[in-house]
Chain A
Amino acid sequence: MSSYRIQGATGDWEVVIGLEVHAQVTSKAKLFSGASTEFGAEPNTQVSLVDAAMPGMLPVLNEECVRQAVRTGMALEAKINAWSRFDRKNYFYADLPQGYQISQLYHPIVGEGSIEIETEEGAKKVGIERIHIEQDAGKMMHDQHPSFSYVDLNRSGVALMEIVSKPDMRSPEEAGAYVRKLRSILRYVGSCDGNMEQGSMRADVNVSVRRPGEGFGTRCEIKNVNSVRFIQQAIEYEANRQVDLIEGGGSVVQETRLFDPDKGETRSLRSKEEAHDYRYFPDPDLLPLELAPEFLEECRRSLPELPDAKRRRYQEQLGLPDYNASVLTAEAETARWFEALIAEGALRQQRPEEQVAKAASNWLISDLFGALNRLGKSIEESPVTPAQGAELLALVADGTISGSLAKQVFEIMLETGDDPARIVEERGLKQTSDTGAIEKAIAEVMAANADKVAEYRGGKDKLFGFFVGQVMKAMGGKANPQVVNELLKKSLA
């Protein structure tokens, strides 16, 4: 149970949230035509006769889009409907050349499933109501001409999955966690790139409020919100608006609203009375979609290890702390990088993966992520490869360089892209365990700081660190710290 409450003048209110996420299916061609789906092309250059709804044109279903929707359903542990059907959703708008969108109202391809999210109160399951596939519309361009609007049909007909949750979320944070988790799963599966800035993922947010434990209130739907932050802001604003409305003696009207990110508020788009009558009916141009058992089996076999399973494996088999496992599995790319890192590491160090995993995970999360953050790069754009990372960690493990030297070497790797062994070699950064040299340095330091030696011997133990620092400095940072410790202890005794 979420403890999130809106504190109204008359008491606490609980927020009820359901999300309809539109995710663009990763496929080269559109849902019902062979036109390309590539993002960023010149307007109206990726439009087939079907997409422009020329007279007599007919849709032909793209099997790849079906495969992606089925795989997504399987990843959400949802019921796959071996029989589904396409319906036409009829309405007039300039971005919809056919005058109808081909969608699936009555018989969607995927039925009920669920997603597990992390909340402050622990793990929670959010129900999936259904997933259906449908066509995207074109894009209006209102800034090309003083009195006309133009339309770009490149997106017209691109395949979308509409992933509908149950009204199971109770706070903006839960909604955020749900979207992030869903996005992560889609990216693992490879069925959607999850790119919210490019519009590959956007959400319709249903919000209502109620007294804790009571029945559902009247909901409002906030259309087309395109970032996790905006989704959370929109929910917070909308829930407070509804509470104020009810407590002020009014009532919530079921309506469609828009979120204005600049003002951080929602405003009415159209009421239920003004809602379109979409006149859904089965599309007579398409046969019902029947999925063969072999096709379903092939979809299942093609699924990768999913984030929850991976996270459990990292904890149980690799012995990683929960935090590390969770961070490393949140994004498919991170997990991929990490797995390459430890595979390479195990090879170099001649040790099983579970023995190199923990140090590797710590280095990746603190050093690599820190550097990427600073450089404003994603892990896919990392200037350092997993093999180079593994080489660096191996140099630390076999005592060639110290941990602090490793940080220095890593900085040089980021700048030059060179391999760590070469950097260490060329710049003479190899750590030394040469006791003769270290003892010489210790003697010099002790001679130069006779007063401190006396103080130490007189019981001021804290000064030990000072001596270590001085010796390391004298050794140019290259002395093996363990050896320095041992020899210093002996000399100072």
Chain B
Amino acid sequence: MMTQITDLGVTAIRDGFRAGDFSAREVAEAFIGAVEKARPLNAFIVETPDHAIAAAEQADRDRSEGLLKPLSGIPIGMKDLFATRGVQTTAASAILKGFEPTYESTVSAKLFAAGAGMLGKLNMDQFAMGSSNETSAFGNVISPWRRKDGANTPLTPGGSSGGSAAAVAARIVPAATGTDTGGSIRQPAAFTGIAGIKPTYGRCSRWGIVAFASSLDQAGPMARDVRDCAAMLEVMSGYDPMDSTSLDLPVPHWEAGLSSDLRGKRVGIPKEYRIEGVPEEIDRVWEQGIAWLRDAGAEVVEVSLPHTRYALPTYYIIAPAEASSNLARYDGARYGLRELPENGSLTDMYEATRAAGFGAEVKRRIMIGTYVLSAGFYDAYFNQAQKVRALIARDFQQAWDSCDLLLTPTAPSAAFGLGEKSDDPIAMYLNDVFSVPASLAGLPAMSVPAALDGQGLPLGLHVIGKPLDEQSVLNAGLALEERAGFTARPEAWW
């Protein structure tokens, strides 16, 4: 079978474009066509073919003049959490329907400046709150994957970056941006058989990203493989004086530094991550991952992260607390939805606008967040959670005495059916059990596809690294990827 352009990932397109195998316009048109065809996935909220074409034409002109930028000729998908100038940006919420920013987020601006074009704004869980993409005001994203039981049950792509994951997995974009607050890049990557990395907190500027939980939110790439993630992350990272929490450090050349030789590296296996009720298949893939890393030359050691069991409750206090405050600005006064009951007061406008504009999960988290910050409960919940967060970070700090990386499963299960968990928030929150601790500690972490489960659905492995050591995380990811030889892809049913 002849290779189609849409089969190619970021670095393959880049290299083919540079070699003159195809024009950027051909690439853009191929993906635009794929996006149109894949509408049943509901991965996009807005399609922006004009943007992709304009960037492609620019790339073709540049190439003829000998000017090649890092992402020249690459069209990508943009999670709808990134503000894009003149293009509707909603965070998948009705409260921002129709909102077109007059500004461009730092990360999307960096991608465009590097030559990338945009195929559209990707669907997601509303305000990035959710693990299944079922909280979007624009409908569920449907995973391109199906179980092999023949029942064709629509499955979740995971969340919150579900549109990004589905689009990359369905080969309708070579790569996409994601954001990760408690696992929102890694869990959907695992569910859809792709790679995704959340860098160290502060690597990517948060300026222009609709805020969910400011102390946790980090942007990162989602792509077909580790190399593509490295190439994307290099462009997305970098100090931004407009974000006070941005790290003023040079961006390493991660792609050039890729090596799957892990000799001299020690990989820790946190014993507290062996939790009851996790399917045997997850454990099996984890054991397989350990063997692969050993094979790549790493020394494997058992480590302890004693406060792991408090990570989920801590996360579900801190993230909603920050969200309850971050989302106060959606009040109907200046932009987005305004619901004004007849003869209503200011308070009536607030209540009606927020009641109509926010989805149920967003409201739940605002309520939780408001509660844990209120007088009389602040010390018992928020303050306590802040202290536990420090202990969780210390756990990792101490683990680095005996290892350089940690290996865990990404999620406690493969993708589940849409609707299967949506009325049980606790079961839904448990999806983040392996991903949340690294978020609380601000550590770089990535998911790579490792195997298929009995139903033919992807399972991911999760590598956590020391602060700023994205290189080791990517290298371990590469070692796993090479040994997993994961070539499975969803069969197009759309």
Contacts and interface: CB of A to CB of B under 8 A. Distances in A.
Interface of A: 49, 52-61, 88, 90, 92-94, 97-100, 149, 151, 277, 279-281, 284-287
A252 to B, nearest CB: 22
A92 B378 CA distance: 19
B328 A277 contact: no
Nearest to A278: B375
B374 A279 contact: yes
B105 interface: yes
A94 B334 CA distance: 9
18 contacts: A54-B83, A54-B101, A54-B335, A55-B89, A55-B99, A55-B329, A56-B210, A58-B243, A60-B244, A90-B324, A90-B328, A97-B334, A99-B327, A99-B331, A279-B373, A279-B378, A281-B378, A284-B215
Contacts of B114: none
Nearest to A95: B333
Nearest to B347: A92
Contact of A287 (B101, B244, B321, B327): B244
B22 interface: no
B96 A286 contact: no
A275 to B, nearest CB: 9
Contacts of A99: 325, 327-329, 331
A285 B101 CA distance: 21
Interface of B: 82-83, 89, 91, 96, 99, 101-103, 105, 206-211, 213-215, 241-245, 321-322, 324-325, 327-329, 331, 333-335, 346-347, 350, 370, 373-375, 378, 382
Given A56-B83, A58-B206, A97-B334, A281 B373 contact: yes
A92 B354 CA distance: 12
B211 A56 contact: yes
Contacts of A280: 373, 378
Contacts of A277: 374-375
Given A59-B244, A99-B325, A279-B374, 12 more contacts: A54-B101, A55-B83, A55-B96, A56-B206, A56-B210, A56-B211, A88-B325, A92-B347, A99-B327, A100-B325, A277-B375, A281-B378
A374 to B, nearest CB: 49
B370 A279 contact: yes
Contact of B244 (A54, A61, A90): A61
Contacts of B329: 53, 55, 97-99
B244 A284 contact: no
B350 A92 contact: yes
A281 B334 contact: no
Nearest to A285: B214
Contacts of A56: 82-83, 101, 105, 206-211
Contacts of B335: 54-55
The binding surface of chain B is classed by DSSP as loop
Contact of B333 (A54, A58, A88, A94): A94
A281 B382 contact: yes
Nearest to A96: B328
B91 A55 contact: yes
Contacts of B382: 281
Contacts of B209: 56
Contact of A60 (B105, B242, B370): B242
Nearest to A98: B329
B244 A100 contact: no
Nearest to B382: A281
B323 to A, nearest CB: 11
A58 B208 CA distance: 8
Contact of A55 (B210, B328, B346): B210
Contacts of B105: 56
A284 B217 CA distance: 10
Given A56-B211, A279-B370, A284-B215, A97 B244 contact: no
Contacts of B347: 92
B95 to A, nearest CB: 10
A94 B324 CA distance: 17
B368 to A, nearest CB: 12
Contacts of B378: 279-281
Contact of B214 (A149, A279, A284): A284
B121 to A, nearest CB: 13
A73 to B, nearest CB: 22
Nearest to B370: A279
Nearest to B327: A99
Given A58-B243, A58-B244, A279-B373, A92 B334 contact: no
B244 A281 contact: no
Nearest to A90: B325
A93 B345 CA distance: 12
Given A97-B334, A287-B245, A49 B103 contact: yes
Contacts of B82: 56
Interface centre among B208, B329, B334 (most CB of A within 10 A): B329
A92 B243 contact: no
Contacts of A285: 211, 214, 244-245
B346 A94 contact: yes
A98 B375 CA distance: 21
A224 B184 CA distance: 46
Interface centre among A52, A55, A59, A88 (most CB of B within 10 A): A55
